[in-house]
Protein backbone atom coordinates (compact mmCIF):
# COMPACT_ATOMS: atom_id res chain seq x y z
CA UNK A 1 0.00 0.00 0.00
CA UNK A 2 1.35 3.41 -1.03
CA UNK A 3 0.92 6.61 0.90
CA UNK A 4 0.83 9.93 -0.99
CA UNK A 5 2.45 12.93 0.69
CA UNK A 6 3.01 16.55 -0.33
CA UNK A 7 5.86 18.83 0.68
CA UNK A 8 5.12 22.53 0.31
CA UNK A 9 8.47 23.88 -0.85
CA UNK A 10 7.34 27.50 -0.57
CA UNK A 11 7.43 27.12 3.23
CA UNK A 12 11.11 26.13 3.15
CA UNK A 13 13.30 29.19 3.57
CA UNK A 14 16.21 27.64 5.49
CA UNK A 15 17.33 24.40 7.10
CA UNK A 16 15.13 24.69 10.23
CA UNK A 17 12.04 25.31 8.09
CA UNK A 18 12.89 22.22 6.00
CA UNK A 19 12.63 20.10 9.12
CA UNK A 20 9.44 21.89 10.20
CA UNK A 21 7.92 20.93 6.84
CA UNK A 22 9.28 17.37 7.05
CA UNK A 23 7.68 17.06 10.49
CA UNK A 24 4.38 18.48 9.24
CA UNK A 25 4.28 15.99 6.37
CA UNK A 26 5.85 12.88 7.84
CA UNK A 27 5.18 13.13 11.59
CA UNK A 28 1.49 13.98 12.10
CA UNK A 29 0.14 12.45 15.26
CA UNK A 30 3.57 11.53 16.62
CA UNK A 31 4.55 12.72 20.09
CA UNK A 32 8.08 13.50 18.94
CA UNK A 33 9.57 15.52 16.12
CA UNK A 34 12.52 15.02 13.83
CA UNK A 35 15.48 17.23 14.72
CA UNK A 36 17.58 19.06 12.14
CA UNK A 37 19.75 16.11 11.18
CA UNK A 38 20.46 14.50 7.82
CA UNK A 39 20.99 11.17 9.58
CA UNK A 40 17.60 11.50 11.26
CA UNK A 41 15.97 12.30 7.90
CA UNK A 42 17.59 9.21 6.41
CA UNK A 43 16.38 7.07 9.31
CA UNK A 44 12.85 8.49 9.01
CA UNK A 45 12.63 7.55 5.34
CA UNK A 46 13.16 3.88 6.16
CA UNK A 47 9.58 3.99 7.47
CA UNK A 48 7.93 2.74 10.60
CA UNK A 49 7.07 6.16 12.00
CA UNK A 50 4.49 8.82 11.32
CA UNK A 51 2.92 8.94 7.87
CA UNK A 52 5.16 6.13 6.59
CA UNK A 53 4.15 3.65 9.30
CA UNK A 54 2.35 0.67 7.82
CA UNK A 55 3.16 1.62 4.22
CA UNK A 56 5.61 -0.24 2.06
CA UNK A 57 5.97 2.61 -0.42
CA UNK A 58 5.41 6.34 -0.57
CA UNK A 59 5.00 8.90 -3.31
CA UNK A 60 6.10 12.36 -2.25
CA UNK A 61 5.22 15.38 -4.38
CA UNK A 62 7.55 18.29 -3.61
CA UNK A 63 5.79 21.49 -4.70
CA UNK A 64 7.88 24.60 -5.45
CA UNK A 65 11.01 22.46 -5.38
CA UNK A 66 13.01 25.19 -7.12
CA UNK A 67 12.36 27.54 -4.20
CA UNK A 68 13.57 24.85 -1.81
CA UNK A 69 16.67 24.28 -3.97
CA UNK A 70 17.50 27.98 -3.70
CA UNK A 71 16.73 28.19 0.04
CA UNK A 72 18.95 25.17 0.78
CA UNK A 73 21.66 26.19 -1.65
CA UNK A 74 25.13 27.65 -1.33
CA UNK A 75 24.45 30.21 1.41
CA UNK A 76 22.51 27.85 3.68
CA UNK A 77 25.08 25.10 3.17
CA UNK A 78 27.98 27.43 3.94
CA UNK A 79 26.27 28.65 7.14
CA UNK A 80 25.52 25.03 8.17
CA UNK A 81 29.15 23.98 7.70
CA UNK A 82 30.51 27.11 9.40
CA UNK A 83 28.22 26.44 12.36
CA UNK A 84 29.74 22.97 12.65
CA UNK A 85 33.21 24.53 12.78
CA UNK A 86 32.08 26.65 15.76
CA UNK A 87 31.49 23.43 17.74
CA UNK A 88 34.99 22.20 18.51
CA UNK A 89 35.23 18.55 19.41
CA UNK A 90 31.80 17.77 17.98
CA UNK A 91 32.67 17.52 14.31
CA UNK A 92 35.86 16.77 12.41
CA UNK A 93 37.10 20.29 11.64
CA UNK A 94 39.45 19.09 8.89
CA UNK A 95 36.64 17.30 7.07
CA UNK A 96 34.28 20.26 7.45
CA UNK A 97 36.96 22.64 6.16
CA UNK A 98 37.48 20.43 3.09
CA UNK A 99 33.72 20.40 2.52
CA UNK A 100 33.63 24.21 2.75
CA UNK A 101 36.53 24.53 0.30
CA UNK A 102 34.83 22.16 -2.16
CA UNK A 103 31.58 24.10 -1.81
CA UNK A 104 33.36 27.36 -2.56
CA UNK A 105 34.95 25.82 -5.67
CA UNK A 106 31.50 24.71 -6.83
CA UNK A 107 32.41 21.05 -6.37
CA UNK A 108 30.73 20.22 -3.07
CA UNK A 109 27.05 19.36 -2.70
CA UNK A 110 24.60 21.84 -1.28
CA UNK A 111 22.30 20.90 1.57
CA UNK A 112 19.51 20.52 -0.97
CA UNK A 113 21.59 18.13 -3.06
CA UNK A 114 22.39 16.07 0.03
CA UNK A 115 18.67 15.88 0.90
CA UNK A 116 17.92 14.75 -2.67
CA UNK A 117 20.61 12.05 -2.39
CA UNK A 118 19.03 10.82 0.83
CA UNK A 119 15.59 10.59 -0.78
CA UNK A 120 17.11 8.83 -3.81
CA UNK A 121 18.74 6.23 -1.56
CA UNK A 122 15.29 4.99 -0.53
CA UNK A 123 13.84 3.01 -3.44
CA UNK A 124 10.54 2.67 -1.56
CA UNK A 125 9.99 6.42 -1.88
CA UNK A 126 9.23 8.10 -5.19
CA UNK A 127 9.96 11.82 -5.11
CA UNK A 128 8.14 13.87 -7.73
CA UNK A 129 9.35 17.45 -8.19
CA UNK A 130 6.54 19.89 -8.87
Looking at the structure, tell me whether residues 86 and 69 fall in a common domain: no
Looking at the structure, tell me whether residues 39 and 61 fall in a common domain: yes
Q: Is 117 domain-assigned?
A: no
Look up the CATH number of the domain holding residue 32.
Answer: 3.30.370.10
pLDDT, mean of residues 71-98: 94
Residue count of the chain: 130
In tens, the pLDDT along 107-119 reads 999 999 999 999 9
In tens, the pLDDT along 29-80 reads 899 999 999 999 999 999 989 999 999 999 999 999 999 999 999 999 999 9
Q: Is 118 domain-assigned?
A: no
Looking at the structure, tell me whether residues 16 and 35 fall in a common domain: yes
| Cα of 37 vs its chain's centroid, Å | 8
**Domain with 88 in it:** 74-109
Q: Is 94 domain-assigned?
A: yes
Task: Give the pLDDT confidence score for residue 29 in this predicted structure.
Answer: 87
Global pTM exceeds 0.75: yes
CB atoms within 10 A of CB 94: 8
Give pairs for 41-46: CB < 8 Å, separation 24+: 41/115, 41/118, 42/118, 42/121, 45/118, 45/119, 45/122, 45/125, 46/122
Q: What domain count does the chain have?
A: 2
Task: Give the pLDDT confidence score for residue 88 in this predicted structure.
Answer: 82
Amino acid sequence: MTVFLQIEGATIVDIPSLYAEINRVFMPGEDWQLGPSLDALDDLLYGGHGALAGHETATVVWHDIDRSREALGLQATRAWLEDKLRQPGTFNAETISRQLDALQRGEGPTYFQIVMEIFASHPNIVLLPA
